[in-house]
Structure 1
Amino acid sequence: MVRAKPLQSSDKPLRSRARKPRDPAQPNLPLDPMPARIEPCLALLKQKPPVGPEWAYEVKWDGYRLAVHIEPKGVRILTRGGHDWTHRFPLIEAAAKALPVSTAILDGEAVVLDDQGRSDFNMLQRSLGGRGGKETSRDAIFMAFDLLYFDGHDFTKTELSTRRHLLETLVPADGHGAIRLSEEASADGAALFQAACEHGLEGIIAKRLDSTYRSGRLGDWLKIKCVQSDSFMIVGYEHSMSARGGIGSLLLAARRGDELVYVGSVGTGFTERVANDLRSTIDRIKRKTPSISYSGRRKNLVWVQPTLIAEIEYRAWTADGKLRHASYKGLREEQDNAAIYRIG
């Protein structure tokens, strides 16, 4: 089968571009220029959901943030960092082409669902061949939660309630295809958050209904997590002859200013296949000295270059600044623009 080439062959990230001014000779031109890319609106972490009729609530999906650009010349699927991953999600691309619209930009999350309908980041990453893998995912679906551009009109300055109404006319709530609607919940925030945690979900997202689409982490969207999950740098591992892949635990670091600071280790969350793949990747970036200040008593430590970013689930922090009850979820892609956890 001949595979179509992606519209953009370079994997360099796109940058947001200033919108072109309207032609003064055509002051009543009804169409807005379609942006090449829109920097995503990001959710601010909070401990409790907000209360009030001005807030809407959704499930928090655990996957890769994507923007799906639909144009007459084809479809582009961009990561949060602006990289073109159209070729990696062929089912989502085909579903986007089938939507009844000529131009649109959908904001959402690529996920793989487990047998209970919960998004699983590890399953998504495996479907793509692991970190740095080049495989196309035949399991990923796109959960659409916002509509930024529609039929020639830019809706980023329009309030969320209107954008959601238009999105629901484009993506049906009862869909079972590769593009589905991330539904709003009618329950109040506290009840939805409790239900999400009881069902083993990652958490919920709260959004102000009257908010426009503003790029960055400005508080229009909030995330409330059942279990904390953040990105940390892998700086080494403890070698063990009895552990899967020979990895007893991974040594992790966070940022404090311009430095990396040791924040503990993680020794759970690996399957045998994941551990073996991780070991083969880590052993290619060994170094003789640690990239952090380390005064622990562990033996058989192998230090590595601080280039791999791991998503770690954990329950709390110890008094001396270490992760408690940590579990490995997977490696973050560079193109996903993952931010290392910052202390202070």
Structure 2
Amino acid sequence: MKSIKDLIYFDINKAKSLISQLNGGLLNEISRAVEDENEESAGIGFDVKIIKGNIGEKSKEKTIKTERISVYHEMLNSIENDLNENGLLTSINSSFDKWESSFNDFMDEIPKLSYVKATGWGSFEDFERFKRIFTNFNEIQRLIFGSVLLENPELIALKEQLEAAKKVAYQNKDRNNRSKELNKVRAIENKVDELLKSESDVHLFDEDWISKVKTFLDTFSPNRLNFRLLPLDDFGDFQILCNLKSEYMLEGNFENTIYTYGSRPNVKLTVIGIITSCPRKEDTRVHPSDEYIGTSETELSAESHFDKAFRNVFDSFEAFEKFFFVPNYPKIAISPIAIYREVIINKKK
């Protein structure tokens, strides 16, 4: 089955490692095309200038990028073929279409798989983009809803007061006096917000709450970029979760991908990778803290008390992390090699 692939994400390091293991070494043409142009130092993103010469810079850069993308496709096709030949790659969609038992029985088979390929409805979740929008949400709302009240006399008067108060506050060099003036600024800003609320449908979040949410996200999801795929239309709770590395987005950055496909694409995408987390309906794992079951506190040494306390702290962290893209049954997580849109070639007879 031949297809055309529009690559969105490609983890070049995972791909080279996998090809090396499957073929006993990197292919010469891959080494030539990928490494000859000093890719390791130049970076993957297409916004990086690869050629430093002044003559024919743009045309040569474009040629190298085209060659690199072409090689990525060859690498991906090679990986899929080799994994299939070795019986290591499972198509989630095809397997489920042929499955004759229940969905729960199908889920019991998932932990036995290694590399999987799946096609379905996807969505990208960029936490940095979310934090940026969320942090500026109130200002955006004020701009949008305030624009329809530009002729409102009360709003005009408040804005004049606000400008005057800011000028006084920022020019005041005495710390105590400046603090008092800034309080006056905030009081006028609150009056402006109250006027917007009374005259429009504006919704504003509490600024302290916004700050606390940002702190929470900065702590538990810094620089997080996720991809979520729903391969089975009738079983939306079965999802494949992927943590992405921004440098392997082939449009140079995630913003360009959004402009092309959208954060929640309305065409089905395909992902291929190895399963890294596969929760069961009943957790049968042996927990590290189980060694203390049946042991009283008086029987523990000082070192064991210390060790047990630290494990409890890490257990609480694990509970927090479940809020952020840690899969729960029947979701699974994979380490993705590639994400792409695949178009199957159907030759006319």
Q: Same fold (TM over 0.5)?
A: no
- Larger relative strand fraction: 1
TM-score by length of 1: 0.19
Name the larger-Rg structure: 2
Which has the bigger relative contact order, CA under 8 A and spacing at least 6?
A: 2
TM-score by length of 2: 0.19
- Larger relative helix fraction: 2
